[in-house]
Every structure is written in C-alpha cells, then in structure tokens.
Amino acid sequence: MATGVKTRIKLPASAARGGVVTIKTQITHIMENGHRRDGNGNLIPRAIIHRFTCDFEGENLVDLKMGPSISTNPYFKFDARLPYDSPSEGLFEFKWHDDDGSIYGDVRTILIT
C-alpha cells in the first residue's frame, strides 16, 4: 500500500430531491507512470490509481478507468442528480483502486430535503 495517501472530497451539506450536486474529489498519489528511469537507468515500475468509482446509495454514479497520463494526485469533478426517491440522508461512497491491489475508500453523507 502506498504511503501518505489522503482523500479529499467536496460536496454540499444538503440538496433537494431531484437536484444537482457537484462533487470534487482528489487523492494524493504519485501516479508513477512506468516510463521514468531512476538514477541507475532502471525503469521505475508503474504504480498508479487505475480506477475511480463513486456510488450513491449503493448505485453506481460514475466509473472511471484511467491510465498513467492522469496527473499526480488525480482530481475529478462531476455532477450527480439526486433521485426523487432518495432517503433523507444520502450516502456517497468513493473508491480508488491502486495497481498494488489496495482500494482506498471514503464516504460522505448529504442531507436531502
């Protein structure tokens, strides 16, 4: 597991049913692309986050497959629409999949009015 990994998520505290919620996410990760060489001329092995997912109340919202051309500390901003049958507290679940098999997760709840 990579060290010093930290996730950041920004979204509003509350929103209306049927409304739009803009979500910003970032994870601290070097995204070692596998093409660089160390001081001895040896290739540094690829070590990236290769998949990011966001679910809302157990249903997938966005599923992003990425390669080594996504910048260090992958950042994503996207929009969710809260279904009309959402509960009064909705759960967003975020997952980042590392090449080394680690899955970094984070959650946020939003008040739904």
Residue numbers of the site for another protein (CB under 8 A)?
A: 20-21, 33, 35-37, 56, 59-72, 74-81, 83
Nearer to another protein, 1 or 42 (CB): 42
> 36 near 53, Cβ under 8 Å?
no
Q: How far is the CB of 15 from another protein (least distance, A)?
A: 11
Nearest to 94 by CA among 28, 23, 37: 23
> Could you give the CA distance from residue 108 to residue 43 in angstroms, rounded to a whole number?
38
Q: How far is the CB of 24 from another protein (least distance, A)?
A: 8
Nearer to another protein, 6 or 36 (CB): 36
CB count, 10 Å around CB of 17? 15
